[in-house]
Structure 1
Amino acid sequence: MVIKGVRPSPFSENTPEQYEEIVEQAWDHDHNKRPKIDYLLEQLEKIKAEVELHQNKSAISSPTSPTSPTSIKKYKFNDLGNVPSSSSSQLLPVERIISELHNKGKYDEAFAQFEQLAQNDDPLALYYTGLYLYEGTYGSIKRDVIRALQFFLRSAKHGKAQSKYKYAYACLTGPYYSFEEGINYLKMAMKDNDPDALYMASQIYLNGEHGYPIDNAKHQKYLKDAAKNGSTIAQKDLAILCM
């Protein structure tokens, strides 16, 4: 649509001005002038925080509001989720949170602890916080793709291969498509021998996706690499090929 010069209809009068500005930047006819996804995520998070702050202020000052100021949760701009965190004295190591809470279906408790550990930039906690937000299927945690990508990106910058893949996958499959970012992080995850990234590369060459030509040799190479590094779906695909 953007390539053909078509643009969405005018925004509503309630649309934040900052949002209109970044949307207009993102649909610039010259793709080189369009902002990268990490910048967009940062700006969208700022807009969201400002809107929430404005809403909280309105609720506090409204004489008809049934909620007293002391009962309203005041979110800081750097709050990382929407589930109250446990106190630091109750925090478990990430591996124990996974085994004792996540693996036993205690998702809300797990998320609360992942979220708090993520504030200390623990790569694995960042990954799981992003995973919960991206999937939106764990307990009462609602899907929030923008925040999920932020967590994946932060975790990826700490070297977490799974987060590099998740960020790449999200960039390449939408809803916030960014080819350059996606391919860049996919390559980084492949370099770390992440099995999911290697399998995704095999499928790109199998189907000729994202501008890459069909290449059976590369498809089989990355399929074997993915299987070697533990991808069960790659192992099944290889078994079928060998039949």
Structure 2
Amino acid sequence: MKDLHFAVRVDNEEYETFRDAIKIDSKYLELPLRGKSDDKRGKHPNYVVKRIYWGQEVACKLTSMTEEEMKINTSVQEHLEILMKLSESNHILRFYGVSKIDDINALVFEWAHCGTLKELYEKKAIQWHYKVQIALKICRGLIFLQKVEILHRDLRCENILMSESLEPKIYNFRLVDYSTDTTLSNEVISNNVVRWLAPEKLINYKSIYTTSCEIFSFGVLLWELAFEKIPYRSLKVDEIKDFVIKGGREAIKFGNSTPEISKLQEDYKKIINDTWKNNPQERISFLKTLNMLEELYNSISHMFDENMPALLNKNTLYLNGSNDDLVLPDENVSPIIPIISLDEGILAFRVGDHQKAWKCFEYHAENGNTIAKYWKGRYLWEGTHDGIKGREEGKELLKIAADEGNSDAQLRYAFTLINVYDEGDNRNIFMNYITKAAEGDNCVAQYNLGDLYYNGILNIPKDENKGIKWLRLAALHNYARAIKFLEEKEISLF
């Protein structure tokens, strides 16, 4: 799992840590002053109880695991660590730490006053402008997850909790790799998760779960939120599988409404259609989805009026304008082409299969992957693949990837400035990026920086000591040119 680069802030020094999770003394978890019927939710053993923690309502999810079992179970420890770090996002359910309730271990989360989004829409009708706001904030949370290389893997309204102010909170992550999870097939069927799954996963449950699978599930969630019901209610699990693989989807037909709401609905419908296309390579990225939702939200921001309630009595809104629940595409559905993983794309580059590599890098770059941006930028800058050349676009992509911390991109972006080295501030920019790459443990950058300093190349003030420092670091990474350089100069490695 990637290092998520977040710090856990602990304000009270009395707290112990349970690996990276805070261990909360149970004396700080107080009973609510006025009990309510939903202070206990769920059924044994998976139930939660409400407590008050420093004035905040929290949900204590009880677990049958002993403290010792939790300490020695690596997967549990990693799960807690990730939950702690993901709490930095306002759109993900906050995890406070671990504690005990009546001597039973419990995980402490923020309390979601309205329950799940599914429970909310089953009780109340959600006004359309609030649906857009909820969808936008869920998408922001998913973008956050994507940036730290985590996929939710089980997107549906039942896995979105709602605060009292109708703020969506993503929770119930599946922190497992579907490609290695041999129990997935039975679990998918028993939990009806199949209703939200992408067709490529329905064809092969054990195939790799990708960002494209996630965007498909998000599209189905958007439909569920729009029509306030679970998808494919009239179909059994096996029927859903065949229907979706053939390109079948739920109908998107709205009831009568005002012109303003009808325009909103059409824009919302386009987002759904663009996310749940049968071929994963044709689906829009999360970043594109976010842009579309933000544009839609900005266009209706005037509709948010404190005098207009967000929730109405059930069946107040005329959601569905058709009795046809399901639709199959009129045209023949194109075959589903599986997404090539980034590792496969890099391997394709190394063996000279540039068409395969280019398609891989183009797709993953569109979905915001920094490494893919570097490779796509490199292809465009160098014109590696026939017909693929765009030096300025490539240079810009290399800079974007460099600014996102990729050391290979930092090095290559620096060298895009060589031909204009003496123009403007390019000399300082060049040195800034090549130094960042060297500090990022890039041995090629370390060698080049060492060479620059040692020999005073490119009008860089000569500094043999600095040069030797970087050359030694490159040599310690077994970089052959650095080793040869030091040997020729009779400079020791240490």
TM-score range, shorter chain: 0.5 to 0.7
Name whichever of 138-147 and 222-231 sits farther off: 138-147
How do 1:70-85 and structure 2 match up within 5 A?
none
Match of 1:25 in 2: none
1:91 to 329, 334, 339: 339
Q: Which amino acid is the alignment partner of residue 379 of structure 2? A: Y
Higher strand share: 2
1:120-199 paired onto structure 2 within 5 Å: 120-136=367-383, 138-171=384-417, 173-175=418-420, 178-199=426-447
2:362 matches 1:115: yes
C-alpha displacement of 1:125: 0.7
Q: Distance in 1 between matches of 2:467 and 2:477?
A: 15
**Cα distance 1:241–1:211, how it changes in 2: closer, same or farther (>3 A)?**
closer
Alpha-carbon distance in structure 1 between the residues aligned to 2:387 and 2:471: 34
Is 1:203 the counterpart of 2:448? The answer is: no
Higher helix share: 1
* SS of equivalent residue, structure 1 residue 174: helix
Instruction: State the one-letter code of the partner of 2:360.
Output: Q
Shift of 1:239: 2.9
Residue pairs, 1:19-98, within 5 angstroms: 87=282, 89-98=337-346
Match of 2:145 in 1: none
Displaced runs of 4 or more, over 4 A: 85-89
Query: What SS does the corresponding residue of 2:398 show, helix, strand or coil?
Result: helix
Query: C-alpha root-mean-square deviation of aligned residues, in Å?
Result: 2.4
> What residue is the counterpart of 1:226 in the other structure?
474
Q: 1-side partners of 2:484 and 2:388: how far apart?
A: 33
Q: CA deviation at 1:126?
A: 0.9
Give secondary structure in 2 for the equivalent of 1:115.
helix
What secondary structure, in the 3-state scheme, does the structure 1 residue paired with 2:462 have?
Answer: coil
Taking structure 1 as reference, are residues 215 and 180 closer, same or farther at Cα in structure 2, changes over 3 Å only? closer
Give 1:217 deviation, angstroms: 2.0
Q: TM-score, normalised by structure 1?
A: 0.57
Larger gyration radius, structure 1 or structure 2: 2
SS at match of 2:416: helix
Match of 1:103 among 350, 372, 375: 350
* 1:122-166 CA distance string (max 9 Å, x none): 111111111112222x23144432112111111112211111111
Structure 2 segments unaligned to the other structure (5+ residues): 1-279, 284-336
Match of 1:28 in 2: none
1:139–1:149 distance in 2 versus 1, CA, 3 Å:
closer
Q: Is the 8 A contact 1:164 1:186 kept in 2?
A: yes
- Percent identity of paired positions between Structure 1 and Structure 2: 24
Matches of 1:94 and 1:204, distance apart in 2: 33
- 2:349–2:357 Cα contact (<8 Å) kept: yes
* SS of structure 2 residue aligned to 1:128: helix
Contact between 1:198 and 1:225, CA under 8 Å: does it hold in 2? yes
CA–CA separation in structure 2 for the residues paired with 1:141 and 1:240: 43
What TM-score, normalized to structure 2? 0.29
Mean CA deviation greater in 190-199 or 203-212: 203-212
- CA gap 1:93/1:197 in 2 versus in 1, 3 angstroms: same
Distance 2:485 2:349 in 1: 29
Q: CA deviation at 1:221?
A: 1.6
Structure 2 distance, partners of 1:87, 1:231, is 41
Q: In the alignment, residue 419 of structure 2 is paired with which amino acid?
A: G
Structure 1: stretches of 5+ with no match in the other structure: 1-84
